[in-house]
A and B are shown apart, each in its own frame.
Chain A
Amino acid sequence: MKKLPLFLFPLLLFTLLLAGCGTTGPTTEESGAGGAAGTAAGGAGGAETSAASQGGAWTGSPLEDPNSPLHEKVVHFDFDSSEIRPEYLPMLRAHADYLVNHPSARVVIEGHCDERGSREYNIALGERRANAVKRFLEAEGVSSLQLETISYGEERPVDPGHNEAAWAKNRRAVLVYQ
């Protein structure tokens, strides 16, 4: 894996994405794999893949325009809360408009929590945050087919600190365009 030529990475990523897509539903496959689990499946549901634009060229999407409300893609929450604070409504409405006008656009809404409390409860709370955003976008007319949710609970903090400032940043829902 370490020595894999660079040009193979896009291919590998594509394969992993395909692998990810083909396995929804209550399957009970037996992998029998003894050692390490799947490797860099990082792109399959995350923000990282969409950020990789070709050769650094800006394609002119308003999603990347720092002056557009669409540039903002993160909603923050209070502790143990999934209520969307009013200051995020204009930004979410802009995303709803964009999605309604771009029916082929797809968004994964990630739900995240701060590190306090139990990990599995936080997985559930993160899902509730992602669902709150999803329901808002649907109410604004976005098709549910364009929206997917995933909760990472407290497993993927953006700020590794252990204080209120870090926790406030980590309690979030993130819109990740695919």
Chain B
Amino acid sequence: MKRFMRLLFLLLLGMQAAHAGLVIEITEGVEGALPIAVVPFRWKGDPASPPPQKVGRIVAADLHRSGYFKTLPESQMLAFPSATAEVDFRDWRALKQENLVIGEVEPNGPGGYKVIFKLFDVYQGEQLMGYSFATTARDLRSVAHHIADLIYETLTGKPGAFATRIAYVVSEGTLEHPRISLRIADSDGYNSQMIVSSSEPILSPAWSPDGRRLAYVSFENGRPSIWIQEVFTGKRQRLTHFKGINGAPAFSPDGRFLAMALSKDGDPDIYVMDLATRKLRRLVRHWAIDTEPAWSPDGRYIVFTSDRGGSPQIYRVPVTGGAAERLTYENGYNARASYSPDGKLLTFITRVGQQFRIAVMDLARGSVRVLTDGSLDESPSFAPNGSMIIYATRYGGKGVLAAVSTDGRVEQRLALQSGDVRDPVWSPYYK
């Protein structure tokens, strides 16, 4: 079944018109996904100049992509209501739909739009939710993602993460003359924008907790430095340029500190910088490799990768300092850990035989579950609602991004049109 889905997807991919950015494919669906019909939103303005985005289709694609919804193809719809009075629930019961979404887009002043949508329970025959948004052409996609978030939350009880973004690194060009760029895109892969580009390596993007800044490592000056850049203005500053490694930046949950790996005093150790004073504190000091710090959501702990036990494993240390506690024992290689938003799970890379895969550990139980089946999977990062983990994998001879649900039941692949894609990190909710 999985193979069939992949094949189908490749066929679809082949038919798809080329566009910049990412293409998302669902590689595995959930049994018992909730059937939902999202009727194309009706444009109430001049038919000759429709809005630049099909809002209803974006909402449907988001819900489908989550794996928790089975969206009804438009070709199977018996009617196309856009207002409550036009809805005949018998149409949708006949199609075995549990929920129905309708909507309208109206002109709203020069360059403006008003988007109205309603969500119904088909069997109860009642409206569950309805909102209207005033927006512009530029933000129509974003409004569609917000609508998908509202529907997702109403029907699953958990907040959606469609109106969020991902940061990732793309390598293009040749081996001798690569072009490396750090990009951000909407969580559905559209609106891909370059943040910084260089002929030298760029790696390890990390979001600030308000989603407004990215820290990253760039070799643009010939050696690695940590930079912090404002996502919306492009303004940036070089934070560190010490001798040796300047790597693995990670913002604290309150945004005041940046944890990082520095080897300026010999071996790579974990340091915490106060971003207001630029004062550095060495949190972990050991002759072995210590790198890849990540904060617990409550800001009390930092997990990191260390090979002090002879192989790379995950350790945890209180932010106030103290002894490091080893968390992983299974498999000979565990690295690049990060917390789920609720602090209950860790995701990291683990080696299974000769394959590198994405695993999740339940911190209370200590149990580890391998979620993926690739051979070179890396850089896992939780969605801000904890439902999915985005990671880098290889497919068709190049690096692509993929996401897997935290329970391992839903997989999707985000394929870039060109270049090698890697180092994804999911944004927090914007504040």
**Which stretch in A58-66, A99-107, A136-144, A147-155 binds the other chain?**
A147-155
With A31-B237, A117-B335 already in contact, 11 other A-B pairs whose C-beta atoms are closer than 8 Å: A20-B222, A36-B197, A40-B199, A41-B200, A41-B222, A42-B200, A119-B203, A123-B291, A152-B201, A153-B203, A155-B203
Report chain A residues within 8 Å CB of B238.
27-31
Give 4 nearest A-B pairs by CB, closest first: A44-B222, A34-B234, A155-B201, A118-B336
**Smallest Cβ-Cβ distance to B332: which chain A residue:** A80
Report chain A residues within 8 Å CB of B220.
37-38, 41
> How many interface residues does B have (CB within 8 Å)?
57
> How many interface residues does A have (CB within 8 Å)?
50
Report chain A residues within 8 Å CB of B194.
36
**Smallest Cβ-Cβ distance to B260: which chain A residue:** A120
CB distance A38 to B198 under 8 Å? yes
Within 8 A of A (CB), among B215-270: 218-224, 233-245, 247-248, 261, 263, 268
CB distance B234 to A35 under 8 Å? yes
Chain B contact residues, CB within 8 Å of chain A: 175, 194, 196-204, 218-224, 233-245, 247-248, 261, 263, 268, 278, 289, 291-292, 305, 307, 311-312, 333, 335-336, 349, 351, 356, 376, 378-379, 394, 397, 422-423
Interface flags, A1-45, vs B, CB<8A=1, else 0: 000000000000000000110011111111111111111111111
Chain A contact residues, CB within 8 Å of chain B: 19-20, 23-46, 80, 115-121, 123-125, 127-128, 149-153, 155-158, 160, 162
Report chain B residues within 8 Å CB of A42.
199-200
- How far does the alpha carbon of A162 sit from the alpha carbon of B356 in the complex, in Å? 13
A-B contact pairs, 10 of them (CB 8 A): A19-B221, A31-B236, A36-B198, A37-B218, A38-B220, A42-B199, A119-B336, A124-B291, A153-B201, A157-B175
CB distance B245 to A151 under 8 Å? yes
Known pairs A37-B196, A118-B379, A155-B201; A123 contacts B224 (CB<8 A): yes
Candidate in B202, B233, B335, B351 with the most chain A CB atoms within 10 angstroms: B335
**Smallest Cβ-Cβ distance to B351: which chain A residue:** A117
Report chain B residues within 8 Å CB of A20.
221-223
Report chain B residues within 8 Å CB of A25.
241-243
CB distance A120 to B291 under 8 Å? yes
Report chain B residues within 8 Å CB of A127.
244-245, 263, 268
Q: Which of A45, A117, A158, A162 contacts B378 (CB 8 A)?
A: A117
Known pairs A23-B221, A38-B220, A162-B394; A123 contacts B245 (CB<8 A): yes
